[in-house]
Amino acid sequence: MFDTTARHVKPALNLTLQGIAGSPGIAIGKAYLVEQEDIDVVEKRFVKPENISGEVRRFKEGVKKAQQQLQSVIEEVPGELKDHTYILHAHMMLLKDRMIYNGTIEHIERESVNAEWAVKIAVDEVKSIFKKMPDPYFRERASDITHVSKLILGNLLGAGPSNISHIDKRVIIVAHDLSPAETTQMPLEKVKAFLTDLGGQTSHTGIIARSLEIPAVLGLGNATQLIMTDTLIIVDGSAGVVIADPDEETLTRYQERKDLFEQYQAMITRSSHLPAETTDGFHLTVMANIEVFEEVVSVIDRGGDGIGLYRTEFLYLNRPTPPSEQELFDNYRDVAEIMAPRTVTIRTLDIGGDKFASGLELAEEMNPALGLRAIRFSLQSPEIFETQLRAILRAANLGNVRIMFPMISQVDEVVQAKQMLNQAAESLEKGGIPFSPNIEVGAMIEVPSAVIMADILAKEVDFFSIGTNDLIQYSLAIDRVNKQVAHLYQPLHPAVLRMVRRVVEAAKEAGIGVYMCGEMAGDPVNLPVLLGMELDAISMNPISIPALKMLVRMLSLKESKLFLEEALKQPTTTEVVKLVQDTYGPLFPKAGFSQPSQD
């Protein structure tokens, strides 16, 4: 049990902090505060001309030492984390990134400043590019640059990397931020949960915590200032809530929730390989969204029926030139072969605007979310596009692969993309290279114009995949990464429901498949309406699959259809949410979910 003696002297504070739900689950335990060396405060010094080359040398040695430090971390990564060493390899490449490495040297030489200052300036420049990216995954990569620059600065300032490998009891880690190197160095069997001031859903701490099923709450702002080592805390990773110094009643309540959650997890894991079939026999295909090959294992473990969205951007990042056809083919083939006979849906490159890839020449844009992104970029970069199309067609010969184009806003874009696909097929044919000519072609529906044109678009493709992350952003005019308007980002907004319904109807009328791969599909609260729509498949973060499949098995298609009709009559999100709550509320706690809310 917990040591509660101190509470008799001083009343409990019950200090509640709200952060971002990084990884689900409940943990109760003592905090362990990870102190950070303060290397953010870098002083500017001018260097005499005769000392410039020495300063450049000092910088190069700092980078070299950082490479050696990362190499030894990579060598010591424990078995269960080997899948995540790609992050550390990416950091290795970032150390030599042209903009950071050459940029720092140029600043030292041009402005006669000390190496620390030059690193800070070069890194700030690169970070500002990342921070403007519309996609949260890429925006979050700014933190990778910070971690890498801290390694270099630590060496220049003689601070050395922080060492947290010595934790000797099971604790809740509280840190300002954690680099992947720090996370992987921790004795993870001693970590009950992670709390960080910085970071969001897509930060590496979140990704690693989710894959290891350790609860995490991120983006807490100032947790490190409010929580001290040994403070008793409750972490609710599903709700993003932290309670420091809880009273007895709160402790008991969360202990019960923790037991319920764990029982529920054990139950859904046991049942994750059963099909997602409703009580009246309707089978919903439940697939996974992945970003890197390494996630395939977790998709299979969690009973995913296939890959509904393979975001292919990762292979284009942190490198001087775009990947070759062979490299792409090897990667796609591996995913296709391991998943076979299940389907793998490869989305062509969704990069551009300010979505950054060091090997690609991209212009600065005022409004990157409305700029040269996704299919627009691919159609204007025929060489890069053709290379990817050839690789996908070749991989399709070795598995059940289909292709889809992102951010379609005009019928012409689909027509042109298909022409290029045909050209790629012809060139493979001429070269005698094996490929599949029968690949299914889909369009992502994530722009309002595509919703309106769905009946016409449906004549051009074999399936639609509704990307609600962008569809909500573009239709409700809510920047998907802007915290200020996050409360208005509402998947159950009547306008969103009507748009989804329209797309499904157009697809059914044309006899083509219709899927959903936005985050909306992975939240159990939205399932009754989505089931009522009769989507053919939903695709989500692999970790959400078992719970979603379980909930499908508790619902009936017939009732969900009637429920959808009621939901579509509601004038506001609040009313739709209330309807979900009134109708399905009792099911959510039974299935271990939190009650639906409007936040």
The residues assigned a catalytic role are: 204, 517
Between CA 556 and CA 300 the distance in angstroms is 26
Q: Least distance (Å) from ligand PEP to the CB of residue 467?
A: 3
Task: Please tell me the total number of residues recorded for the chain in this structure.
Answer: 599
* All residues at 6 or more sequence positions from 540 whose CB lies less than 8 Å from its CB, including other chains: 286, 287, 288, 289, 308, 517, 519, 521, 522, 548
Picked from ligand PEP, Mg ion, none, the partner binding residue 392 (CB below 5 to 8 A depending on kind) is none
Report the DSSP beta bridge partners of residue 34: 175
Choice between 33 and 369, CB closer to ligand PEP: 369
- Residue 150: CA atoms inside 13 Å, Cβ hemisphere, count? 19
Q: Please choose, out of 46-54, 248-256, 422-430, 460-468, the segment that lies near Mg ion by the rule CB under 5 A.
A: 460-468
Choice between 368 and 467, CB closer to Mg ion: 467
Q: Least distance (Å) from ligand PEP to the CB of residue 471?
A: 7
Between CA 309 and CA 328 the distance in angstroms is 16
Strands (DSSP E) found in 163-305: 171-175, 191-196, 216-218, 232-236, 241-244, 285-290
Q: Please choose, out of 378-386, 452-460, 464-472, 496-504, the segment that lies near Mg ion by the rule CB under 5 A.
A: 464-472
Q: Are 31 and 227 in contact (CB under 8 A)?
A: yes
Q: Please choose, out of 46-54, 101-109, 464-472, 501-509, the segment that lies near ligand PEP by the rule CB under 6 A.
A: 464-472
* Residues 518 to 557 in contact with ligand PEP, rule: CB under 6 A: 518
467 part of the interface to Mg ion, by CB under 5 A: yes
Choice between 62 and 467, CB closer to ligand PEP: 467
* Residues 503 to 522 in contact with ligand PEP, rule: CB under 6 A: 517-518
* Residues 194 to 233 in contact with Mg ion, rule: CB under 5 A: none
b/e per residue 113-122 (b: at least 16 CB within 10 A)? bbbbbbbbbb
Choice between 309 and 336, CB closer to ligand PEP: 309
594 part of the interface to ligand PEP, by CB under 6 A: no
Distance (Å) of CA 512 to CA 144, 504, 508: 41, 9, 6
Choice between 177 and 446, CB closer to ligand PEP: 446
* Residues 407 to 446 in contact with Mg ion, rule: CB under 5 A: 446
Taking CB positions, which residue lies at the least distance from Mg ion?
A: 470
468 part of the interface to ligand PEP, by CB under 6 A: yes
Q: Least distance (Å) from ligand PEP to the CB of residue 350?
A: 6
Picked from Mg ion, ligand PEP, none, the partner binding residue 468 (CB below 5 to 8 A depending on kind) is ligand PEP
* Residues 400 to 459 in contact with ligand PEP, rule: CB under 6 A: 446
Report the DSSP beta bridge partners of residue 242: 17, 235
Choice between 108 and 461, CB closer to ligand PEP: 461
Between CA 12 and CA 243 the distance in angstroms is 11
Between CA 167 and CA 187 the distance in angstroms is 7
Q: Are 328 and 401 in contact (CB under 8 A)?
A: no
Tokens matching residue 223:
């947790």
Between CA 217 and CA 242 the distance in angstroms is 8
Picked from ligand PEP, Mg ion, none, the partner binding residue 313 (CB below 5 to 8 A depending on kind) is none
* Residues 271 to 330 in contact with ligand PEP, rule: CB under 6 A: 309, 311
Choice between 245 and 350, CB closer to ligand PEP: 350
Q: Are 387 and 350 in contact (CB under 8 A)?
A: no
Q: Please choose, out of 92-100, 187-195, 264-272, 468-476, the segment that lies near ligand PEP by the rule CB under 6 A.
A: 468-476
352 part of the interface to Mg ion, by CB under 5 A: no
522 part of the interface to Mg ion, by CB under 5 A: no
Between CA 218 and CA 551 the distance in angstroms is 27
b/e per residue 2-40 (b: at least 16 CB within 10 A)? eeeeebeeeebeeeebebbbbbbbbbbbbbbbbebeebe
Cα 106 from chain centroid (whole Å): 34
Between CA 503 and CA 45 the distance in angstroms is 60
Q: Please choose, out of 195-203, 214-222, 380-388, 462-470, the segment that lies near ligand PEP by the rule CB under 6 A.
A: 462-470
Q: Kindly write out the interface string for residues 242-261 of this chain, putting x where it contacts ligand PEP by CB under 6 A and - elsewhere.
A: --------------------
Choice between 97 and 470, CB closer to Mg ion: 470
Interacting residues toward ligand PEP by CB under 6 A: 135, 309, 311, 350, 446, 467-470, 517-518
Interacting residues toward Mg ion by CB under 5 A: 446, 467, 470
